[in-house]
Chain A
């Protein structure tokens, strides 16, 4: 059972109270982009064994969207953070670096901002 703390209402919500929203920090390629960019934006997703960033919604609660960083292998949750950001917060990155030295995920990696 996955338990995430909603950063908006401080509730430790378990999975059934939340709705999964897919991969986090996607950059939208809309009109004017190339077909390849648009294709990748629509279909290409990470499927990591290890560190992963996701969007979640506190559906049966305050109704707000937020981000979560967790490990897909151990289900360890590194932390949750606001949805009003396009990159993970430094605090979260530091926490992951401490527990998973050398981690990488898309353009994010250990020691990189």
Chain B
């Protein structure tokens, strides 16, 4: 089998904030009734995390579950385990009105860290990034300039950003331009 490579293979840019390709990340899209017991158990088994509350992400040691919409979750698992875990989740939800798909290869994954992280993301997304409004653990699907993207804030003040792989290079260049050392606005 050919060797899997993330969209920009670990490229990194440092300016107001550090933008880096966060490497390969297993991602499973799961649609179904988020209130159902079988689904909660399947999510727990696959990621170790609970089903998250609206607009948030629940992180466990070796995985996470993010709230995408009232009937959709994004499960984060180690890249090598994505295929097997997708099958496990599908098996556990047999008979339920649910669908699990491995989308790992269809996504790009970035990390945005440093002092200016809120500001850099604020330049490209119509979201309030004030410290009082956007807190660690919050997960938001929105827009990154011209393309769809999702992001969440970690306890250490860094963001993880998920977008389609086809626009991965665009998003990296976008964030890098936003993190240009001479482009400080200083709002957050």
- Quote the shortest CB–CB distance from B176 to chain A (angstroms): 21
Q: Do residues A62 and B143 form an inter-chain contact, with CB atoms below 8 A?
A: no
Of the stretches A6-14, A38-46, A68-76, A95-103, the one at the interface is A6-14
Q: Do residues A17 and B142 form an inter-chain contact, with CB atoms below 8 A?
A: yes
Q: Do residues B69 and A10 form an inter-chain contact, with CB atoms below 8 A?
A: no
Q: Do residues A60 and B55 form an inter-chain contact, with CB atoms below 8 A?
A: no
Q: Do residues A62 and B126 form an inter-chain contact, with CB atoms below 8 A?
A: no
Closest residue of chain A to B126, judged by CB?
Answer: A14
Bound CA–CA A8/B68 (angstroms):
11
A61 in contact (CB, < 8 A): yes
Q: Which residues of A contact B40 (CB under 8 A)?
A: none
Closest residue of chain B to A63, judged by CB?
Answer: B69
Q: Do residues B70 and A9 form an inter-chain contact, with CB atoms below 8 A?
A: yes
A64 in contact (CB, < 8 A): yes
With A16-B126, A17-B126 known to touch, is A9 a contact of B142 (CB < 8 Å)? no
The number of A-B residue pairs with CB atoms under 8 Å apart is 34
Which residue of the partner chain, among B55, B126, B142, contacts A10 with CB atoms under 8 Å? B55
Interface size class, chain A:
10 to 19
Q: Which residues of A contact B70 (CB under 8 A)?
A: 8-9, 62, 64
Q: Do residues A11 and B140 form an inter-chain contact, with CB atoms below 8 A?
A: yes
- Quote the shortest CB–CB distance from B2 to chain A (angstroms): 32
Which residue of the partner chain, among A9, A60, A63, A64, contacts B143 with CB atoms under 8 Å? A60
Q: Do residues B143 and A16 form an inter-chain contact, with CB atoms below 8 A?
A: yes
- Interface residues of B, Cβ cutoff 8 Å to A: 54-55, 67-70, 72, 126, 140-143, 148
9 nearest A-B residue pairs (beta carbon): A62-B69, A60-B143, A14-B126, A61-B141, A60-B148, A8-B70, A17-B143, A60-B142, A16-B126
